[in-house]
Amino acid sequence: MLKLSDVRITYGAGVIAADGATLSVADGQAVTIIGGNGAGKSTLLRAASGVLRAAGGRVVGGDITWRDGRIDNRRASEIVREGIAHVPEGRRVFGNLSVEENLEAAGIVLRDRAERRRLIAEAYERFPVLGERRRQPAGLLSGGEQQMLAICRGLMSKPRLLILDEPTLGLAPLIVKQIAASVKEIHGSGTGVLLVEQNAAVALSVVEYAYVLESGRVVLEGPAAELQASDDVRRLYLGAG
């Protein structure tokens, strides 16, 4: 299980991006963090996967544990080997590399070549369009296809927990549905999911449990169905009057 306890995070001296945040993701559970712009959602994801430092941030209080070991301020390259993969916001793929080269590069974490081949085949089964375009530069894919590739890159390390930051941002409704269905399917196959989504309705339809973050702390939490029914959540995050 991933556990953030009373976590405090700063960027440089001035910005406090997490201010006593506590949340957890049990093995194989699907969880979302919802909250407005600047609430600190991406920051918590970065802290969990270890990419926080590269973004100029630092965990200065509380602790983060993963399967009983402390991981706060550890390197991302170590954390990914221990089973946490992070698909960052903005579908970062290598635009000049082909689809297949992108997957191979992400699979470098695995020593076993045959296993890498198997995972690439699995990616093409999950999203056939990636298989059709395997030789094309990733930069020529549509936004939705790049997001599919980014997710598959995350899966190339065989994570126990897949962290997804805004996977549907800017995508057409039909593609949003497709991405949401694939996240559900990934979770259904036993992988834990920690999801941040601008679209709270989509997030709550995919996960089991949700946290609401405001100014770097959790102000509300509960099973997704309960939060979907909450008047405050509906008014503030689901656009209901």
Interface residues toward ligand ATP, by CB under 6 A: 11, 15, 17, 35, 37-43, 55-56
| 3 state SS of 121 | helix
Nearer to ligand ATP, 34 or 120 (CB): 34
Smallest gap from residue 165 Cβ to ligand ATP (A): 7
Smallest gap from residue 231 Cβ to ligand ATP (A): 22
Q: Which of 88, 30, 34, 63 minimizes the C-alpha distance to 214? A: 34
Which amino acid does the sequence have at 128?
P
Residue that the structure tokens 């996967």 belong to: 49
Q: Which of 46, 56, 50, 65 minimizes the C-alpha distance to 10? A: 56
Smallest gap from residue 29 Cβ to ligand ATP (A): 21
Nearer to ligand ATP, 90 or 95 (CB): 90
First to last CA, the chain: 37
Nearer to ligand ATP, 98 or 215 (CB): 215
- b vs e for 124-147, b when ≥16 Cβ sit within 10 Å of the residue's Cβ? bebbebbeebbeebbeebeebbbb
Tell me the C-alpha distance between 213 and 34, whole Å.
6
Nearer to ligand ATP, 104 or 165 (CB): 165
Phi, psi (rounded to 5 degrees) for 100: -65, -40
Tell me the C-alpha distance between 221 and 117, whole Å.
40
Work out the number of other CB atoms within 10 angstroms of the CB of residue 28: 16
Nearer to ligand ATP, 10 or 178 (CB): 10
Smallest gap from residue 88 Cβ to ligand ATP (A): 11
Smallest gap from residue 202 Cβ to ligand ATP (A): 14
Smallest gap from residue 194 Cβ to ligand ATP (A): 13
Nearer to ligand ATP, 41 or 116 (CB): 41
Cα dihedral: 196, 191, 186, 71 (round 10): 40
Nearer to ligand ATP, 56 or 95 (CB): 56
Smallest gap from residue 4 Cβ to ligand ATP (A): 13
